[in-house]
Amino acid sequence: MIYLDNAATTFPKPEMVYEAVLNNMKNYGANPGRSGHKLALEAGRVIFKGREMVCRLFNIDDPMQVIFTCNATEALNLAIKGVLEEGDHVITTSMEHNSVMRPIKSLENNGVENTVIQCDEAGGLNPRLIERAIKENTKLIVVTHASNVTGTIMPIEEIGEIAKRKNVLFLVDAAQTAGVYDIDVKNMNIDLLATAGHKGLMGPQGTGILFIGEGVEVKHFKEGGTGSKSQELTQPLMLPDRYESGTPNTPGIAGLTAGIEFILKEGLDKIRKHEEEITSCFLEGVKNIPGIIIYGKQDATKQAAVVSINIGEEDSSEIGYVLDKVFDVGIRPGLHCAPMAHKTIGTLEQGTVRFSFGYFTTKEEVKIAIEAIRNIKEEVI
Amino acid sequence: MIYLDNAATTFPKPEMVYEAVLNNMKNYGANPGRSGHKLALEAGRVIFKGREMVCRLFNIDDPMQVIFTCNATEALNLAIKGVLEEGDHVITTSMEHNSVMRPIKSLENNGVENTVIQCDEAGGLNPRLIERAIKENTKLIVVTHASNVTGTIMPIEEIGEIAKRKNVLFLVDAAQTAGVYDIDVKNMNIDLLATAGHKGLMGPQGTGILFIGEGVEVKHFKEGGTGSKSQELTQPLMLPDRYESGTPNTPGIAGLTAGIEFILKEGLDKIRKHEEEITSCFLEGVKNIPGIIIYGKQDATKQAAVVSINIGEEDSSEIGYVLDKVFDVGIRPGLHCAPMAHKTIGTLEQGTVRFSFGYFTTKEEVKIAIEAIRNIKEEVI
pLDDT at A193: 98
B57-73: buried (b, 16+ CB within 10 Å) or exposed (e) per residue?
bbebeebebbbbbbbbb
Instruction: Establish if B219 touches chain A: CB-CB under 8 angstroms.
Output: no
Residue type, A246: G
More confidently predicted of A36 and B55: B55
Mean pLDDT (whole number) for A339-363: 97
* Interchain pair A77, B222: CB under 8 A: yes
Q: Which of residues 177-206 of B touch A (CB under 8 A)?
A: 196, 198, 204-206
Give the CB-side neighbour count of residue A366, counting CA atoms within 13 A.
Answer: 25
Residue type, A30: A
Q: Is the pLDDT of residue A364 over 80?
A: yes
Which of B26, B76, B334 lies closest to A12 in CB terms? B26
Residue of A59, A155, A303, A222 lying closest to B73 (CA atoms) = A222
Q: Is the pLDDT of residue B280 over 70?
A: yes
How would residue B381 be classed by pLDDT, with cut points 50, 70 and 90?
A: low
Q: Which of residues 68-107 of A touch B (CB under 8 A)?
A: 70-74, 76-77, 81, 97-99, 101-103, 105-106
How would residue A227 be classed by pLDDT, with cut points 50, 70 and 90?
A: confident
Instruction: Establish if B34 touches chain A: CB-CB under 8 angstroms.
Output: yes
pLDDT at A381: 58
Nearest CA in chain A to B248: A206
| Phi, psi angle pair for B219, to nearest 5° | -70, 150
How would residue B182 be classed by pLDDT, with cut points 50, 70 and 90?
A: very high
CB A64 within 8 A of CB A87: no
Structural domains present in chain A: 2-10+268-380 (3.90.1150.10), 15-266 (3.40.640.10)
Distances (CA, A) of B90 to A146, A220, B143, B301: 45, 22, 11, 29
Tell me the chain A residues in contact with residue B257 when contact means C-beta distances shorter than 8 Å: none
Over residues A273-332, the pLDDT tens digits come to: 999 999 999 999 999 999 999 999 999 999 999 999 999 999 999 999 999 999 999 999
In whole angstroms, give the CA distance from residue B242 to residue B239: 6
* Interchain pair A8, B30: CB under 8 A: yes
Tell me the chain B residues in contact with residue A149 when contact means C-beta distances shorter than 8 Å: none
Instruction: Establish if A30 touches chain B: CB-CB under 8 angstroms.
Output: yes
Pairing of strands B89-93, B292-294: unpaired
Instruction: Establish if A40 touches chain B: CB-CB under 8 angstroms.
Output: yes
pLDDT at B379: 86
* Interchain pair B330, A233: CB under 8 A: no
Instruction: Establish if A333 touches chain B: CB-CB under 8 angstroms.
Output: yes
Mean pLDDT (whole number) for A248-274: 98
Which of B106, B245, B332 lies closest to A34 in CB terms? B332
Mean pLDDT (whole number) for A30-47: 93
Q: Which of residues 107-166 of B touch A (CB under 8 A)?
A: none
pLDDT at B13: 98
When the pLDDT of each residue in chain B is averaged and rounded to a whole number, the result is 97
How would residue A80 be classed by pLDDT, with cut points 50, 70 and 90?
A: very high
How would residue A33 be classed by pLDDT, with cut points 50, 70 and 90?
A: confident
* Interchain pair A35, B204: CB under 8 A: no
How would residue A380 be classed by pLDDT, with cut points 50, 70 and 90?
A: confident
Residue A219 neighbours by CB distance under 10 Å: 12
Over residues B40-86, the pLDDT tens digits come to: 999 999 999 999 999 999 999 999 999 999 999 999 999 999 999 99
Over residues B210-232, the pLDDT tens digits come to: 999 999 999 999 999 988 888 89
pLDDT at A229: 85
B6-17: buried (b, 16+ CB within 10 Å) or exposed (e) per residue?
bbbbbbbbbebb
* Interchain pair B246, A74: CB under 8 A: yes
When the pLDDT of each residue in chain A is averaged and rounded to a whole number, the result is 97
Interface pTM, i.e. ipTM: 0.98
Q: Is the pLDDT of residue A178 over 70?
A: yes
Q: Is the pLDDT of residue B267 over 80?
A: yes
pLDDT at B380: 74
In whole angstroms, give the CA distance from residue B198 to residue B183: 17
